[in-house]
Chains A and B, each alone.
Chain A
Amino acid sequence: MTYRTLTALVGALALAGCASTTTVDDYRPTSEPIDIEPGEKVAILGRRDAGHYETDTDFVECLADRMGQSDFQIMSEQEFIDALYPWFEPRTAPKHLKRLQRLMQEPVLQEKIREENLRYLVWLDGEVESHGATGAMSCGMGPTGAGCFGYTSWDKEAVFEAIVWDLVDLTEEARIQVDSEGTSYVIGIVAPIPLLTRVESQACSGLGKQLRSYFSHEGR
């Protein structure tokens, strides 16, 4: 009975630990789907200009994978910055629409965008932060064995913003903010049992789903 209770308790904690709350806020000037022709490409680019953090490359790749499950093509981050080198490097990338409009006045850039069949750019900015660590755990080793006892937890928050720019009409099509929060636990019952929240994955899933719905032909 005790064993069952303990298993149930660990299971319940695991489920609670894995749970996270994801909020997706979006702003679009219209509810119409974003126009995209077959063969046109959407590039996803992470911001790299901030000093204290960088948008995680894995998150950019995760979003590209999620959006890649659609009927339009996704251009990878590296492919995009190489194709338009050096205008989307951390030093040169346009941070605002006005700067993009000025940059795109260059005929050679317009030509390259046309040649690559690029239509939209998704600018991704954000990071995952951990805070609020509580509890204590101690691990030890003796002649008869080793083990960890105790309990520790911490909160994780993933906040990302995606801005969709039309590279042909040079307009902002959408702005989405996703906020995913959760708590991770490690319980030490001889062996440490990690129960980790997957906020980054949840944020990626929420953002990918939302972005895909904008470009979806099904909604028309």
Chain B
Amino acid sequence: MDITRKDVEHIATLSMLNLNEEEIEGYTKDLQNIVSFAEQIQEVNTENVAESAFALDAYNVFRKDEVKESFNRDLLMQNAPSSNGVQYQLPPVIVD
């Protein structure tokens, strides 16, 4: 599998990352190496093998829908890069 710089530009867009020229070049090479390495898994015969999402069996883990004490809003808002104390502040999302 060949990774091209166009692939890297595409996945950077999907990942919400800007990459400069040097980074595109570097990551194209790195991803090419890593994906070629990952290619080995194709050798494993997985016919009739089920996928596992993680190592243990656990399905439909629910807890009761109860009102409980939640986070302290002031403490949460203190970490906001920009807020009025009770709301996060952003640039306009819809512009004409």
Q: Do A and B bind each other?
A: no
Residues of A whose CB lies within 8 Å of any CB of B are none
Residues of B whose CB lies within 8 Å of any CB of A are none
